[in-house]
């Protein structure tokens, strides 16, 4: 469902952390919050979920303000980096937990678990104890549990950052696949520029409690709003692509260029011929 954040100000221990954030996500959009450590990404996510008090501004889900609505009644679910699963319980129990709270009938719970485990590619793992699962498998269970709550807005707070690069990419692909299928409005917090570019419809680049730019990956790459955004994206090593007829095309962004045809590597402000 759609999400609108209007002039949001949040103060923690007498220090203003968010200075008037404006952001909107259309129904089914995939948004990333990108920015240096401490810029307020988690604070924004927790505010949306109702885990922090808001001093000024508004948060609307499907046009209705959710300020004052208890976290469990907002229709938001956060998956944190530490996952917060119950290690002594089975996979099934972990996933049915939100359904128990909603008093979903047992039969329906079992059918849902089956469907969710299929979705996260863990069919047959119902009776396994959480502590017998690998890191990547736990991430999948956490995702299944989040989806079990049937959220209006799914909030992902760097859920893959503890994984090695290969697993991280795998999880990224899975989340994107699930998003394509279920179209749940999703906000992902990440430090990883490449992940944000690959996964998002739009990216909010944050710095020190403000949003510096909120736009599609393509527009941000082609027209960074200011030097801070350009420098931030400049840290990304490169993307690979092809120049044909004056146009550079890659999986991440496209740009008009005055270069001969061929394969190129590109940073935000440079192009280098060849793939080496
Ligand atoms: N409970 C709190 N009380 C006081 N200050 C806090 C609290 N939680 C976070 N902060 C401060 O708020 C600022 C933003 O923190 P936040 O966790 O939102 O940043 P972040 O962008 O998510 O960082 P990271 O990428 O490292 O997770 C930081 O300066 C942090 O020290």
Q: Are residues 223 and 264 in the same domain?
A: no
Q: Are residues 257 and 201 in the same domain?
A: no
Question: How high is the ipTM of this complex?
Answer: 0.95
Q: How confident is the model at residue 198 (pLDDT cuts 50, 70, 90)?
A: confident
Per-residue pLDDT reduced to its tens digit, 101-136: 778 888 988 998 999 999 888 999 999 998 889 888
Give the residue whose CA is nearest to atom 17 of ligand 1.
42
User: Could you identify the atom of ligand 1 that is nearest to the CA of residue 39?
Assistant: 21
Compute, in angstroms, the gap from residue 242 CA to the centroid of ligand 1. 40
Give yes or no for residue 14 CB within 6 A of ligand 1. Answer: no
Q: Are residues 136 and 182 in the same domain?
A: yes
Per-residue pLDDT reduced to its tens digit, 39-56: 999 999 999 999 999 999
Give yes or no for residue 227 CB within 6 A of ligand 1. Answer: no
How many domains are there within the chain? 2
Per-residue pLDDT reduced to its tens digit, 216-237: 988 888 788 998 888 887 766 5
Q: Are residues 48 and 145 in the same domain?
A: yes
Q: Are residues 227 and 244 in the same domain?
A: no
Two tokens, residue 9 = 């100000």
Give the residue whose CA is nearest to atom 26 of ligand 1.
37
Q: Within 13 Å of residue 229, how many CA atoms lie on the same side as its CB?
A: 21
Q: Are residues 254 and 149 in the same domain?
A: no
Domain span at residue 186?
3-231
User: Could you identify the atom of ligand 1 that is nearest to the CA of residue 158?
Assistant: 27
The neighbour count for residue 160, using CB atoms within 10 Å, is: 25
Two tokens, residue 262 = 């061929």
Q: 104 or 273: whose pLDDT is higher? A: 104
Separation between Cα atoms, residue 68 and residue 130, nearest integer Å:
34
Last residue of a domain, one of 199, 214, 231: 231
To test the pocket of ligand 1, the residue of 17, 162, 196 to mutate (highest count of ligand atoms within 8 Å of its CB) is: 17
Q: Please report where in the chains the tokens 């001969």 appear, as a residue.
A: 260
Percentage above 70 pLDDT, the chain = 95
* SS3 state of residue 260: coil
């Amino acid at each position: 469902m759609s999400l609108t954040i209007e002039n949001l100000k949040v103060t923690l221990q007498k220090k203003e952390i968010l200075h008037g954030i404006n952001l909107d996500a259309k129904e089914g959009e995939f948004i990333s919050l990108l920015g240096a450590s401490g810029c307020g990404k988690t604070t924004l996510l927790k505010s949306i979920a109702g885990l922090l008090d808001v001093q000024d501004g508004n948060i609307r889900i499907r046009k209705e303000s959710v300020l004052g609505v208890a976290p469990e009644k907002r229709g938001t679910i956060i998956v944190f980096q530490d996952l917060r699963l119950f290690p002594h319980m089975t996979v099934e129990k972990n996933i049915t937990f939100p359904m128990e709270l909603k008093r979903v009938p047992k039969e329906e719970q079992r059918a849902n678990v089956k469907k969710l485990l299929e979705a996260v590619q863990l069919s047959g793992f119902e009776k396994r104890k959480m502590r017998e699962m690998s890191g990547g498998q736990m991430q999948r269970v956490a995702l299944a549990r989040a989806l079990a709550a049937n959220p209006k807005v799914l909030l992902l707070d760097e859920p893959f950052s503890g994984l090695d690069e290969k697993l991280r990419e795998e999880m990224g692909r899975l989340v994107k696949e699930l998003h394509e299928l279920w179209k749940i409005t999703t906000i992902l917090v990440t430090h990883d520029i490449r992940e944000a570019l690959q996964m998002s419809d739009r990216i909010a680049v944050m710095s020190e409690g403000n949003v510096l730019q909120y736009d599609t990956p393509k527009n941000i790459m082609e027209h960074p709003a200011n030097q801070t955004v350009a420098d931030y994206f400049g840290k990304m090593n490169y993307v690979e692509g092809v120049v044909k007829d004056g146009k550079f095309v890659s999986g991440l962004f496209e740009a008009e260029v005055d270069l001969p045809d061929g394969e190129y590597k590109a940073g935000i402000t440079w192009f280098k011929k060849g793939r080496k």
